[in-house]
Amino acid sequence: MVDDILFNNQEDGQVTRHGRLNVALFNEKTGKYDVGNFRNMMVDQDCGGATRALESPRLTTPHSVSMPDFDGDCMSDLFLTVEDDSDPSKKFYEIYVRREQVAPFNDTSKVMPTDGLRSFCLVQTDDISQIQNN
């Protein structure tokens, strides 16, 4: 097993072309990591999540990342603590639920890859700035 990595990315104080919150996913075919923006690679933007995501999130320092099963479907969901890149005093938690994607009418061209790409849906976020400042 090779771990995937969630990290803040910054070069010379500037956000990189991938954005701030990034993920490195091990590609078994190439034997290398594919690096990109976390939300572009892992989050289904059309999943109907009722919550608005931060425009430019980054992991808080210190941060918390865990993969419990929030909805009881036996798939790992994702809990993150993030901060707004434009205002680091604003801290939030985000909960992403993993959704199994099914191909409509047996159309295998629309089946999600088994590596979990774009299988997370943002379902809850909350400002925890006051909690951390107390």
| Predicted TM-score (pTM) of this structure | 0.77
Ranges of each domain in the chain: 43-133
The tens place of each residue's pLDDT in the chain, 134 residues long, gives 567 888 887 655 555 444 588 889 888 889 999 988 888 888 887 776 667 777 778 888 888 888 999 999 888 899 999 988 788 888 999 999 988 765 555 555 555 444 567 788 888 889 998 875 54
Q: What is the DSSP letter of 49?
A: -
Q: Which residues of 85-99 are buried (b: 16+ CB within 10 A; e: fewer)?
A: beeeeebbbbbbbbb
